């Protein structure tokens, strides 16, 4: 069955982060299945002028920001207030079958309001609990008023949406624990576009020369520099790693709130000469930089966010035939089987990270089997086409709830 779906996003490409990449992947996979998709972003999307923008062949309808957008609490209300008429106009004009709103809950609240008014089903997708992300960013305190308010609003959307999806089992368990019917919640896991991440064979010679990495053992991280990623733990481990193996280098690709602090930390520890900060790079450059890496390291800190949410980047590395080592937080344990598809080390533990790196680089064991098993895991269970196909049942169930329903005239 074909569907005409209006996706409601917080933000989208050309902004580059895991949220926007997942959104683009969902849209592309659904279109490959023959579905029609439309896309609107909330007033929180930045850097765009005008009511529409075409990016990578996809048209995004933008919502104009409000002058009150930066005022605490009022700004959140304004996001909902401005998004409601934008969604309603598109639903009426384009005669969509259903609305698919993606977290945060502000998008869900706006979508549900329109859905109830126009008798059209709403699917709500949660990718992370944004109150937990706010704790990591220092804009909220766990258990504080803002934290509890955000949690309550999110739970309200779970209850009022016709169907709920999430990206991993950790989130699903938390949603069900809030009293949501287990049959209403479906996991649509993060995945990888296999065609975009082929197995890499050997380093990119031009970049190898540029960064002076010939003959070196390269640790790597590609992604956004947020505090919860634990990159300070990785840099703190470098003196001990170097003492055991002076030929190790650390390649950090990306940027974010922690960038300046991480650079300062490398200077203070005397390892800035072996830690390479490339800054943010175009998405097309990522495979070339990945080819330089011998072991990708993902040292996420233990907190609610990382225990519940699975990241994209380890799967991309696994798809490319790269070895992966990660902290043993819940989100990583859903992706990596220690000793079979990768390595796990104790979270928030510099010494165990050092032990893990030393084990990988000192062993004479052939890791061919591990690389093959990791690639197979991504190919068979974590590719976007198979992941997105799960929406078919979700949409069917959502439409069944409101059938028969009136068709509105735009």
Q: What is the pLDDT of residues 210-256, one digit of tens each?
A: 999 999 999 999 999 999 999 999 999 999 999 999 999 999 999 99
Mean predicted lDDT score pLDDT of the chain: 91
Query: Are 64 and 93 in the same domain?
Result: yes
The answer to whether position 82 is within a domain reads yes
Q: Kindly provide the b/e burial profile for residues 357-369, where b requires at least 16 CB atoms within 10 angstroms of the residue's own CB.
A: beebbeeeeeeee
The answer to whether position 410 is within a domain reads no
| Average pLDDT of the residues in 97-125 | 96
Query: Are 299 and 236 in the same domain?
Result: yes
177, 368 Cβ separation under 8 angstroms? no
Query: Are 97 and 246 in the same domain?
Result: no
Residue 128's pLDDT is 83
Asked whether the whole model's pTM tops 0.95, one would answer no
Q: Is the pLDDT of residue 410 over 50?
A: no
The answer to whether position 408 is within a domain reads no
Residue 407's pLDDT is 43
Query: Are 398 and 336 in the same domain?
Result: no
Query: Are 161 and 235 in the same domain?
Result: no
Query: Are 271 and 329 in the same domain?
Result: yes
Query: Are 236 and 273 in the same domain?
Result: yes
Return the DSSP state at 302: P
Higher pLDDT, 5 or 280: 5
- Cα–Cα distance for residue pair 396/399, rounded to 1 Å: 5
The DSSP element (H or E) to which 123 belongs, if any, is: strand 122-126
Task: Give phi and psi for 328, each to the nearest 5.
Answer: -90, 40
Rg (CA), the chain: 22
The answer to whether position 337 is within a domain reads yes
Return the DSSP state at 367: -
In 155-259, DSSP assigns E strands to 163-166, 185-187, 217-224, 248-255
Query: Are 296 and 392 in the same domain?
Result: no
- Cα–Cα distance for residue pair 12/10, rounded to 1 Å: 7
Q: Which residues contact 46 (CB under 8 A, 6 or more apart)?
A: 11, 15, 65
Residue 305's pLDDT is 86
Write the Ramachandran bin of 111: left for phi over 0, alpha for psi from -120 to 50, otherwise beta: alpha
Query: Are 275 and 376 in the same domain?
Result: yes
The answer to whether position 407 is within a domain reads no
The DSSP element (H or E) to which 38 belongs, if any, is: strand 36-41
pLDDT in tens, 316-371: 999 999 999 999 999 999 999 999 999 999 999 999 999 999 999 987 567 999 99
The CATH number of whichever domain residue 119 belongs to comes to: 3.40.50.2000
Query: Are 118 and 24 in the same domain?
Result: yes
Distance (Å) of CA 241 to CA 79, 102, 268, 269, 271: 47, 41, 16, 13, 11
| Average pLDDT of the residues in 287-312 | 94
- Cα–Cα distance for residue pair 343/353, rounded to 1 Å: 10
Q: Is 277 exposed, middle or buried (0-12, 13-18, 19+ CB in 10 A)?
A: middle
Task: Report the percent of the chain where pLDDT is more than 70.
Answer: 93
As for how many domains the chain has, the answer is 2
| Average pLDDT of the residues in 164-173 | 93
Query: Are 311 and 182 in the same domain?
Result: no
Domain range for 175: 4-191+384-402
Query: Are 156 and 299 in the same domain?
Result: no
């Amino acid at each position: 069955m074909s569907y005409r779906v209006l996706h409601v996003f917080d933000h989208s490409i050309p902004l580059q982060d895991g949220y926007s990449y997942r959104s683009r992947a969902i849209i592309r996979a659904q279109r490959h299945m023959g579905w029609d998709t439309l896309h609107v972003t909330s007033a929180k999307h930045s850097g765009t002028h005008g009511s529409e923008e075409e990016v990578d062949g996809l048209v995004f309808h933008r919502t104009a920001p409000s002058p009150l957008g930066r005022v605490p609490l009022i700004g959140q209300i304004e996001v909902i207030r401005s998004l409601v008429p934008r969604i309603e106009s598109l639903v009426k004009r384009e005669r969509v079958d259903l609305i698919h709103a993606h977290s945060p809950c502000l998008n869900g609240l706006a979508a549900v309001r329109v859905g109830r008014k126009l008798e059209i089903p709403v699917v709500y997708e949660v990718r992370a609990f944004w109150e937990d992300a706010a704790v990591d960013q220092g804009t909220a305190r766990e258990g504080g008023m803002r934290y509890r308010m955000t949690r309550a609003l999110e739970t309200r959307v779970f209850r009022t949406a016709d169907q709920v999806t999430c990206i991993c089992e950790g989130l699903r368990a938390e949603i069900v624990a809030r009293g949501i019917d287990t049959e209403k919640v479906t996991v649509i896991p993060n995945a990888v576009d296999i065609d975009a991440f082929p197995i890499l064979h050997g380093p990119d010679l031009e970049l190898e020369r540029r960064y002076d990495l010939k003959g070196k053992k390269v640790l790597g991280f590609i992604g956004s520099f947020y505090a919860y990623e634990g990159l300070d733990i990785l840099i703190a481990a470098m003196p001990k790693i170097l003492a055991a193996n002076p030929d190790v280098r650390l390649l950090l690709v990306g940027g974010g709130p922690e960038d300046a602090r991480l650079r300062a930390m490398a200077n203070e520890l005397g390892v800035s000469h072996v830690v390479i900060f490339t800054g943010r790079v175009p998405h097309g450059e990522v495979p070339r930089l990945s080819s330089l890496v011998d072991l990708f390291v993902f040292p996420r800190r233990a907190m609610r966010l990382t225990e519940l949410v699975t990241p994209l980047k380890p799967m991309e590395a696994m798809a490319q035939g790269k070895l992966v080592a990660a902290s043993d937080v819940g989100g990583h344990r859903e992706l990596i089987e220690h000793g079979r598809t990768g390595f796990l080390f104790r979270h928030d533990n510099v010494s165990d990270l050092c032990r893990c790196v030393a084990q990988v680089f000192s062993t004479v064991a052939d890791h061919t089997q591990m690389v093959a098993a990791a690639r197979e895991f991504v190919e068979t269970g974590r590719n976007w086409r198979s992941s997105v196909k799960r929406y078919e049942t979700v949409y069917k169930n959502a439409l069944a709830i409101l059938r028969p329903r009136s068709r509105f005239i735009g």
